[in-house]
């Protein structure tokens, strides 16, 4: 279930099954600000990768919550989306980027999601604050 949805914030259980709810929330926000299709797709990709990462790893063996906040920074024509969870502390930016020059046979299946989010966004920040992981993406549209 959706725990709470206010104007610019959505709280859901951090499970893969809730991904469509998160995408719907983000889509409706992006439509309100007339975001270009290309940026919209890039933002959707980053949001999916980040949320799925939290759903998979934040709460091993239990179901916890994730809070998604959307912010449009008008003077910069930019979107900032943050994801907060109270799961195990994890800084995705510390993870080594996959080696994208390897051949198909050498490449591992996986490890691409966070890398894609970093590449498609203008900024990606992580902080651990008040017992929460906070991942924030920023994209000029």
Partner 1 sequence: MLNIEKTKDNGNMKISLEGRLDTMTSTQLEIEVQSSLDGVDNLTFDLAKLDYISSAGLRVLLSAQKIMNKQGKMVVTNAAEEIKEIFEVTGFSDILTIQ
Other CB atoms within 10 A of residue 13 CB: 16
Least spacing, CB of residue 74 vs partner 1, in Å? 26
Q: Tell me the chain's radius of gyration from C-alpha atoms.
A: 15
Token code pair at residue 11: 């709280």
User: Nearest approach, Cβ of 127 to partner 1 (angstroms)?
Assistant: 24
How many C-beta neighbours within 10 Å does residue 51 have? 27
At 68, list the tokens.
């998604």
Instruction: Tell me how far, at minimum, the Cβ of 63 lies from partner 1, in Å.
Output: 17
Cβ closest to partner 1, residue 49 vs residue 85 = 49
Packing angle, helices 37-57 and 19-32, rounded to 10: 150
Kindly list the residues in this chain that would bind partner 1 in the complex (CB under 8 A): 16, 19-20, 38, 41, 44-45, 48-49, 52, 100-105, 107, 109-110, 112-113, 115-116, 119-120
Name the residue nearer to partner 1 (CB basis): 1 or 100: 100
- Rank residues 9 and 19 by Cβ distance to partner 1 and give the closer one: 19
């Amino acid at each position: 279930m959706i725990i709470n949805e206010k104007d610019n914030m959505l709280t859901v259980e951090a499970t893969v099954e809730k991904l469509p709810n998160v995408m719907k929330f983000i889509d409706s926000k992006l439509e309100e600000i007339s975001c270009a299709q290309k940026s919209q797709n890039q933002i959707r990709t980053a949001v999916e990768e980040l949320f799925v990462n939290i759903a998979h790893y934040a709460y091993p063996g239990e179901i916890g919550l994730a809070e998604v906040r959307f912010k449009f920074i008008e003077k910069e024509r930019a979107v900032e989306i943050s994801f907060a969870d109270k799961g195990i502390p994890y800084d995705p930016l510390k993870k080594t980027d996959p080696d994208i020059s390897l051949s198909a046979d050498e490449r591992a299946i996986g490890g691409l999601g966070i890398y894609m989010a970093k590449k498609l966004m203008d900024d990606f920040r992580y902080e651990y604050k008040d017992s929460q992981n906070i991942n924030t993406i920023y994209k000029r549209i």
